[in-house]
Structure 1
Amino acid sequence: MSDEKTDAAPGSAPEGSGGEAAKPAGKGRLIAIVAGAVIVSLLAGGGGVYWFTQRGTGHAAAEPAEAPAEEADGGGENADADPSAAYIEVPPMMVNLRGGGAQAKFVKLRFIVVAADGKTDAVKARLPLILDALQPFLRELRPDDLNGSAAVFRIKEEMLRRSTEALGKGMVRDVLIQDLIQQ
């Protein structure tokens, strides 16, 4: 008789139990799996919240937090927050891109210059200086320089830097890119 009990499969219940011994082990395993899934979900959710809040406390989120204080003083670097900002639309520019291929590549660029308070007429009068400062930069771009999500940001920052150098500090507040088309 003892041979019959040892011949049973390791996961099966003894003949007289009717399968009752397997149920508590299955329930315990199910509870452990559900608890593990809940813990993993909570950790992933908490990690996601932490990641997004830490990204928000960086340099980009610090600027909007400071903007209301600057507006109260009458100043501020944020062109969108200032209703008196002057937007000067620049005629579209089309330049050749630098490349080694037989086919010529072009970029068409439309942008707006945001003049500082009270400097609108001065910036309009000196707009050719801005265009002259931007031509060498735009002509040195390669088609690869325009790839990726950060390309427009890098181009915008360089355009703002060159515009500020051409006109002097405090003349141009921002450069807003409307269209950047490569063909």
Structure 2
Amino acid sequence: MTRGKLIAIIAGAVLLTAGAAGGGFWWWQRGHSTEAKAPPPPKPSTFRYVSMDKVIVMLRSQSGDPLAHYMAVDVVFKAEDAVKEKAVKDQLPLLRSVTVKALSEFTLDKAGALTIEQLTSEVNTAYKARYSADSIEQPFAEALISKLIIE
């Protein structure tokens, strides 16, 4: 074999290897793109919120406590659609009554020691108990406390 043929064979082998490596890399990149894909957009909320403002409750007094103490809360009801939103609005007097009954059980010390989550849980439990006792469907998914003042 002459020296020219040997150089041509080696050059061909190098070009063939480089071409195969480039093609393999291109094929691998096509399936494993390094570009970050955008996350899907969040779904718009379909919930409707109904507010019940200024529920004022007199807290139970400690024995010998000369001052009256109050709790004021704003409650927001999370309804799933327009029909249930209307049902919540129609039942606001009942919901106000249940809220007052549930919160009037607390003393100043006990109410002050509760977190918002614990107070929300107490109120939601009272609503569920009332709707179960009346054997009717609760028209809201949950109640949220949007404002709390204890004096």
The Cα shift of 1:155 comes to 1.3
> Whose Rg is larger?
2
**Is the CA contact (8 Å cut-off) linking 2:103 and 2:123 kept in structure 1?**
no
- Please, what is the CA RMSD of the aligned residues? 2.0
Amino acid at match of 1:171: P
The Cα shift of 1:170 comes to 4.5
Unaligned stretches of 5+ residues in structure 2: 1-42
User: SS of 2:53's equivalent?
Assistant: coil
**Pair 147,91 (structure 1): closer, same or farther in 2 beyond 3 Å:** closer
- Identity over aligned residues, as a percent? 22
Unaligned stretches of 5+ residues in structure 1: 1-80
Structure with the bigger RCO (C-alpha within 8 Å, sep 6+) is 2
The Cα shift of 1:129 comes to 1.0
**Pair 145,169 (structure 1): closer, same or farther in 2 beyond 3 Å:** farther
| Larger strand share, 1 or 2 | 2
- Are 1:136 and 2:98 counterparts? no
Amino acid at match of 1:88: V
Q: Which residue does the alignment assign to 2:45?
A: 83
User: SS of 2:103's equivalent?
Assistant: helix
Residues in 1 aligned to 2:139 and 2:93: alpha-carbon distance in whole angstroms: 14
Q: Which residue does the alignment assign to 2:75?
A: 111
TM-score, reference length from structure 1: 0.50
**Is the CA contact (8 Å cut-off) linking 1:164 and 1:171 kept in structure 2?**
no
User: SS of 1:172's equivalent?
Assistant: coil
Alignment of 1:1-183 (within 5 A): 83-100=45-62, 101-117=65-81, 118-148=83-113, 150-167=114-131, 168-183=136-151
Amino acid at match of 1:91: D
User: SS of 1:92's equivalent?
Assistant: strand
Amino acid at match of 1:152: I
1:115-164 C-alpha deviation (Å, 9 max, x unpaired): 2333111111011111111212111111112234x532121012112223
User: SS of 2:141's equivalent?
Assistant: strand
Amino acid at match of 2:73: L
**Is the CA contact (8 Å cut-off) linking 1:129 and 1:166 kept in structure 2?**
no
Residues in 2 aligned to 1:169 and 1:179: alpha-carbon distance in whole angstroms: 26
**Pair 82,103 (structure 1): closer, same or farther in 2 beyond 3 Å:** farther
Residues in 2 aligned to 1:125 and 1:154: alpha-carbon distance in whole angstroms: 27
**Pair 152,92 (structure 1): closer, same or farther in 2 beyond 3 Å:** same
Residues in 2 aligned to 1:102 and 1:146: alpha-carbon distance in whole angstroms: 18
**Pair 114,82 (structure 1): closer, same or farther in 2 beyond 3 Å:** farther
